[in-house]
Amino acid sequence: MTITIISGGQTGVDQGALEAALLQGIHAGGFCPESRCDEHGPIPERYAAHLRPVERGGNLARTILNVAQADGTILLYWQDIQGGTADTLRACLDYRKPFLPIDASVTSHSAAVTAALAFILRHSIVILNVAGPRISDWADGFGFTRDVMIQVLQTFGTPSRP
């Protein structure tokens, strides 16, 4: 089974997921805002090169397109689902797409990996959207996501190709 990782390119969880995919040689993609910016300015080229800007609509349009394109979404967050993460959850519900919320404040790294693997297998996920707070809302989001997703992707072995 091969997996493609998509996200919206924001700092934190989104870029952590993209980093994991790139480090593992897994195809990464998704939609980003038309501005091609994250909360700090232009999305780093390492990630932006794999993202497609929405024509209009900004962050919400990007979120909806990523949910619609994916077979399922993993939401990694700390304590509360809010902001763009809440928009992602609403889009999953609206599009009737499977989603897995993982609250890292009460979930260990290994438990998050186990839950993510079970979710991917249960729903036969090929295109996985990974979403969650930006780095200013969860300082450890990038690292937690990167580490969890590296372990998840290592389980599936052969990388996908664009």
Res. 58: pLDDT tops 70: yes
Give the integer Cα–Cα distance in Å for 91 and 17. 19
pLDDT tens string 97-142: 999 999 999 999 999 999 999 999 999 999 999 999 999 999 999 9
Mean pLDDT across the chain: 96
pLDDT at 1 (0 to 100): 74
Rounded to two decimals, the pTM is: 0.96
What is the percent of the chain with per-residue pLDDT over 70, rounded to a whole number? 96
Which residues, 6+ apart, have CB-to-CB distance to 126 below 8 Å?
1, 2, 3, 4, 71
Topology of the domain covering 4-156: Rossmann fold (3.40.50)
Sign of the alpha-carbon dihedral angle for 50, 55, 58, 63: negative
Sign of the alpha-carbon dihedral angle for 120, 125, 128, 132: negative
Res. 145: pLDDT tops 60: yes
Domain boundaries, given as residue ranges, for the chain: 4-156
Res. 59: pLDDT tops 60: yes
* CA distances in angstroms from 85 to 25, 63, 110, listed in the order given: 26, 9, 22
What is the percent of the chain with per-residue pLDDT over 90, rounded to a whole number? 93
pLDDT at 161 (0 to 100): 46
Which DSSP helix (H) or strand (E) runs through 5?
strand 4-6
Helices (H) and strands (E) in the chain, counts: 6, 9
Arithmetic mean of pLDDT, 34-57: 96
